[in-house]
Every structure is written in C-alpha cells, then in structure tokens.
C-alpha cells in the first residue's frame, strides 16, 4: 500500500477481542512499523499481498514454513495491474470501516492475558 512504513504489508484483524481470544499479539508487527486494524464482522481468513498495484499473492495458506510444508491450502500469484488495482481498492474500503490498533492498546492488556499469550507463543510451532 502506498505510504506504508518499513513493513511491506498492512495487517487487519477481525476485532480486538478476537486478538485476545486467539492469543495473537500484534506487538511485533506494530513495533516494525506495520499498521494494524480491527473491525467487527465476519472473519476473513484470506492472505493477500499486493505490490505496486500489479503483483498479487492471494490465498488461504499462512506464510510460515510449517504451514507451507504441512497444510493443504492454496495461494495464487498474479501479475495483473487491473486485478492488483481492484484488490487495493477493496483493502482501502475495508480499512475505511475499521479502527487502528495501537501499540499502547496492546501493551495495556491485563497481565493474565499477556501471560497466556506468552505461553501460547511457546507452543505455536507445534500447533
């Protein structure tokens, strides 16, 4: 997305409560300059990256070694400015209906939630 920080993609999460429930801590993304949003509504499992409005990677596979090796999911790579432009419009529309998550909000979570998330991260490679 144009105007982004050092992080090549923006991260969108369903809602702050879901972040806490799933144990995902967006601190790493926020500290690296990524922008993170939260929104109400249906959870979107799609992984999407659009580079320069032309190159698109779209699919359901998580972008980590374990998922790419073990899971039976699919990503599609496309080089098409028409598709890339349309997908960027859709992302912008979704972001417009979302609210930003800040590092201050993440750091303000209660200690039990932070401890639970820390323990969950230890087991993440095995889940």
pLDDT tens for each residue of 59-114: 988 877 777 788 888 899 999 999 999 999 999 998 999 989 899 998 898 999 88
Structure tokens at 116: 């639970």
pLDDT tens per residue across span 40-53: 877 777 889 999 99
Residue 23 pLDDT: 45
Tell me if 90 sits within 8 A of 58, measured CB to CB: no
In a 3-state reduction of DSSP, which class is residue 95?
A: helix
Residue 7 pLDDT: 47
Q: Output 27 or 87, whichever has higher pLDDT.
A: 87
Residue 20 pLDDT: 41
- CA atoms 48, 8, 126, 119: torsion sign: negative
Residue 121 pLDDT: 78
């Amino acid at each position: 997305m144009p105007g982004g920080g050092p992080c090549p993609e923006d991260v969108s999460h369903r809602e702050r409560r879901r972040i806490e429930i799933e144990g995902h801590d967006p601190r790493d993304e926020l500290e690296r300059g990524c922008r993170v949003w939260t929104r109400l509504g249906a959870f979107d499992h799609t992984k999407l990256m659009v580079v320069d409005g032309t190159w698109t990677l779209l699919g359901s596979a998580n972008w980590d070694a374990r998922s790419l090796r073990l899971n039976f999911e699919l990503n599609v790579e496309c080089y098409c400015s028409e598709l890339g432009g349309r997908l960027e419009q859709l992302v912008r529309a979704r972001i417009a209906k979302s609210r930003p998550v800040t590092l201050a909000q993440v750091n303000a979570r209660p200690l039990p939630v932070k401890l639970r998330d820390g323990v969950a991260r230890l087991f993440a490679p095995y889940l």
